[in-house]
Structure 1
Amino acid sequence: MAQLRETRTPRRGWRVALVSLVAFGIAAGSAGCTMEPGSAGTDPSATSSASPGSSASPEEPPTPTVAAIPATVALSPETGATFVNPVSDVIAEVTNGTVHHAVLKETATGAVSEGELDPDSKKWTATTPLKFDTAYTFDVTVTDTAGAKSTEVSTFNTVPASHVADAALYPGADSTVGVAQPLEFNFSEPVVNKEAVENAIKITTSTGQVGAFRWYTDQLVRYRAAEYWPANSQINVDMQLLGMDIGNGMIANFNKNYNVNIGNKVVMEADAANMSVSILINDQVAQTFPATLGDADFPSASGTMVLTADKQRYATFKAASIGLKPGDPGDYGSVDVEYATRLSNSGIFIHQATESAMPYLGVANLSHGCIGLSAEGAGWVFENMGPGDIVNTVGTPNETIAPTDGFGDWNIPFDQYASR
C-alpha cells in the first residue's frame, strides 16, 4: 500500500501578517507619542549628567524680595512745644521698628537726661525730671525691619520763670516749736485752686490729731488743730504740688516732705490787772515775775498770742514804728532795751523794762503794749521760751490782735476757723 504524506501549506501569510502587525504597532506608537526633533525623546545627546543611582532635581527659583515698611516714631512733647509742664512724660515710641538711640539734653548746657528702654526696644522714656524754664533737644534714631536707620528731633521749652509758683513754709523742716504754732504756707503767686492745693498737702500727727486750713489771703494759708498740739509730739507735712496748676497757669515747682517737732507746753499767763506774769511748763508753774503792761492809752492786746522766732539780745525801739510822731502824746522817741522777744508784727515784745520803768514793775502799767519785766524775768523768757510758745493776756480792755499780726489764730473759735 502506498504511504500517504500530509501536505502542509506554507505559513507565509502569517509571517507577513506578523510583520505587518509589528509595523502597525510601531506606527501606532509613533502616532500617540510624537516627539519633536531635538526633544529628549529623540535626541540621544540629551542625557542626564547625574551619576548612576542618583536622581536629578530642577533648580529652585530665587525668593522674591519684600520691601520693608518704614519705621515711624512718635515723640512727646512734640517739636516746638512751649510751656511744657516739667512733670510731663518725655517718650519716643516706634512703630514697625525699634529705638536704636535716644538722647534728651538741655539745649543750652548739653546736660543729658537719663532714660530707659522697654524690653521690646520700641519705647524710650526719660527718667530724669525736667527743669523749669529750660529748652530741651530730644534726638531719636530708629531702625526699621530691614535695618535702615532714620532720625527724628523734637525741640521744646518747659514752663517759663514767669509762670513758676513757689511757697515759703513756717516752721521749717526738723525745727522744734511750741504747742501753739500754726503751720504757715506763703505762696509766691495767688492760689485759685485752693481745694486742690489743700488736698495735695497731707498733714499727719504722731497722736492722730486733725486740723483745718484757713486762707487769710490768696497767698497765705495756715493750718491748726482744734486744740494745741500735744507736748513732745511730731507733725509730718507731705506736700505733693510739683506740676500743679494753682491757678492762672501758675505751676507749682516743688514737692516737700518734712517733720516739725513739738516741744514742751510752755505758757505765760500775763495779768494786766495784777501786773504780773506766771510761766507754766507742762501745766506746772515754773516762774512768776512782776510786770508792767500797756497803759490806759496803749493797753496790751487781750487773748492768746504766740511767740515768734525773732529774738534780739539788744534792740532799739522807735516811736515812729508804731505811728507816733514828735509832739504826739506818748511819743517816746527812741529807747534801747535788752532781751527782746517778739509777739507781733506790729511791735509787741516781751523785754527788759527801761530803767525809768523798773520801779513800777508790779505797781503800774506804763508800756505801749509790750510786757516789761526785770532783767531776770526778761532774760529767763529769752533763754527758755521760743517760737510756738503761748502768751495769754487777761485784765486788759483791749481787743485781741488781728490773726495775722503774728499768730493770733487761737482767738478764732475752731468751728469758724476753716475757710477757703
Structure 2
Amino acid sequence: MTSSLPTRPPTGPVAPARRGGARTALTCLGLVALLGLTGCASGGDDAAPAGASGSPAAEGAPARSSAAAAPTVKVTPGTDATAVNPADPVVVRADAGELTRVTLTASSTGKTTGGELSEDKREWRTSEPLEFHETYTVEHTARNGDEERSGRSVFSTVDAAHEADVSLNVQDGQTYGVWQVVEFEFSEPVTDKDAVEKAVTVDGAHEKGQFRWYSDQKLRFRPEKPWTPDSTVKVSANILGTHLGNGMIGNGNKTVSFKTGPEQRAYVDDTTKTLVAYVDGKETGRWPVTLGDPEWPSTTGKKVILEQAASYPFKASSLNLKPGDPHYYPPFDATNVSRLTWSGEFVHQALPSAWPVLGVANVSHGCVGMPPEGASYIYDVFRPGDMVEVVNTNYPQADPADGYGDWNIPFEHYADENWHGNW
C-alpha cells in the first residue's frame, strides 16, 4: 500500500524508534490509508494524476458503483381512508425507479379498475371512476436497480346514504315543442347550488338561458326566447363526484339530446270562447270552447303541454268532490287529452252534454273543452312542449311549479327564485 503513494523527502530529523512499535506501525498504516482516500476523493493538489499507477482511473482498476436505494411508494388516498369520492383518481407514485405492478381491486366483486402509467413509469392513476359504497385494495410493486419494494393499502368510498342522482324531464331522441322547459330533479336536497349549475350545460337551439330553483331538489332551465324550431338541444348534467352539500355527492352523469319541432301555440280567449291554433305563425284552426265555470275558473297565462293521451280517466275525487256535491260528476274517460297543469287542467274533447254550450258558456272544472275535431287536432298535431295560452278569465295564473308556467316569468327575473308574479 505504501509503495503506491507519492513519496516526499523528510522535512526534519527522524524520530528514534520507541517501544510499542507495532502500534505505531498500525497507526501509520491507518494514516497512509486515510491520506490515500483523501487524495482520491478531493482531487486536490495531493491527488495522483489521472492514469498514474495506483489511481482509481488506472487501467485495470475495478469500477466503483453506488447501490440503488429502494423506492418509496405513495398511494393516494392513503390506507384506511374512508368516504373517498369515487370520482377522485387513485394515484400511485414511486419516488425512484419505476412501477412494475399496480392493481386496484373491489372487495365485493373482485373487479379491477383500469389505470394508466406515466411515460417515466413512476406514476399510475385510475382512468375510470370507482363505485360507491365499496372497499378497494391497492397492491403495487416498484423497482429501482436491484432494489424492489411491494406494498398494499385499503380504503373505502362514499357509502350509499351519501350518494345522489338526477333525473331529467326530457328523453333522448324525442321531439318537443319550442316552449319546452328543461327540469332537473335531484334525489337529495342541494345546498351547493352554484356547484350544480356549473356542472350543468345546455347547448344548441338558443342564444342564452337561465336557471331557476323551485326547491332544493328541483332546478329548471329555459331560454330567453323559445328554442329555434327544428333544431337539437343537448343537455348534460355532469354531477358525478360533485358535492351537492350536506355530505351528498353526485353518483352519475346524465346527457340527453332532444329535438324541437315547429313553433306551435294555441290562443284561448274566454271573451270569445274560442281556441285558435297557430303553426309557425300561421293560423291552422279555430274552434269554440268551454272553460271553467265561475266556481272553478280556468287559470290564465302561458301553459306548456306536459303530456298527452288518447284516453284519460277523469274522477271527481281528484278534486275532492264526493257524490251529492253540486259539482260532482261520475267517472269518465276523456278523449284526446293534453295536460296543462299537474293539478288537473287539460285540453280535451268535451262530453256530448256540453257540446250545445261550446262557444257560449263555461261549464267545466277549469279545463278547455273542445268539439271532437278540435280536440283531435290538438292531440294529433301538437305535442309536449307546445304552448296553450289562456286569457280573460279574470283569474290568476297557475303557479309556475304546477306545470311549466315558466314563460309567465319575465326573463330578467327568471333566476330570482323569490320573484313572484300573478299567481
TM-score bucket (shorter structure): 0.7 to 0.9
CA shift at 1:153, angstroms?
0.8
Q: Hey, what does 1:331 align to over in structure 2?
A: 328
Match of 2:360 in 1: 363
1:218 maps to amino acid:
D
CA contact (8 A) 2:73 2:94 kept: yes
Partner of 1:201: 200
Is this contact kept in 2: 1:71–1:145, CA < 8 A?
no
Distance between the aligned counterparts of 1:140 and 1:197, measured in 2? 36
Q: Distance in 2 between matches of 1:336 and 1:241?
A: 41
Give 1:417's aligned residue: 414
Measured after TM superposition, the shift of residue 150 of structure 1 is 2.8
Change (3 A) 1:100 1:277: same
* 1:89-128 matched pairs, under 5 angstroms: 89-128=89-128
Q: Counterpart of 1:377 in structure 2: which amino acid? A: G
2: CA distance, partners of 1:340 / 1:96: 71
Deviation of the 1:396 alpha carbon: 0.6
Question: Deviation per CA, 1:153-195, whole angstroms, max 9, x where unpaired?
Answer: 1111111111111111122223211111111111111111112
CA distance in 2, matches of 1:313, 1:281: 21
**What letter matches 1:308 in structure 2?**
L
The aligned counterpart of 1:241 is 239
Alignment of 1:376-391 (within 5 A): 376-391=373-388
User: Which residues in structure 2 correspond to 1:19-418 (within 5 Å)?
Assistant: 67-146=67-146, 148-207=147-206, 209-309=207-307, 311-418=308-415
**Letter in structure 1 aligned against 2:89:** D
Q: CA deviation at 1:370?
A: 0.6
The number of residues matched between the two structures is: 362
Could you tell me how far apart the structure 2 residues matched to 1:59 and 1:385 are?
Answer: 96
**1:13 counterpart residue number:** none
CA distance in 1, matches of 2:411, 2:121: 57
Question: CA–CA distance in 2 between the matches of 1:390 and 1:273?
Answer: 19
TM-score (norm 1): 0.81
Once residues 375 and 322 of structure 2 are traced to their aligned partners in structure 1, the CA distance between those partners, rounded to angstroms, is 28
In structure 2, distance between residues paired with 1:136 and 1:259: 35
Structure 1 residue 62: Cα displacement: 6.6
Q: Deviations over 1:85-110 (max 9, x none)?
A: 11212121112332121111212211
Shift of 1:213: 0.9
Distance (Å, rounded) in 2 between the aligned partners of 1:384 and 1:63: 90
Q: What is the CA–CA distance in structure 1 between the aligned matches of 2:223 and 2:125, rounded to whole Å?
A: 43
- RMSD after superposition: 2.2
CA distance in 2, matches of 1:190, 1:239: 16
1:210-229 deviation line (CA, Å, top 9, x unaligned): 01111111111111123222
Q: Which has the larger radius of gyration?
A: 1
User: Relative to structure 1, is the Cα distance of residues 386 and 62 closer, same or farther in structure 2, using a 3 angstrom cutoff?
Assistant: same
CA distance in 2, matches of 1:387, 1:203: 19
Distance 1:265 1:234 in 2: 14
Query: Which consecutive segments of 4 or more residues in structure 1 shift more than 4 A?
Result: 57-68
Determine if contact 2:79/2:154 at 8 Å carries over to the other structure. Answer: yes
- Structure 2 CA distance, aligned partners of 1:295 and 1:341? 20
1:63 positional shift: 6.6
Does the residue aligned with 1:320 lie in a helix, a strand or coil? helix
Deviations for 1:24-49, whole angstroms, at most 9, x for unmatched residues?
xxxxxxxxxxxxxxxxxxxxxxxxxx
Match of 1:21 in 2: none
**Partners of 2:140 and 2:150 within 8 A in 1:** yes
Distance 2:96 2:166 in 1: 47
1:164 maps to amino acid: E
Paired amino acid for 1:92: V
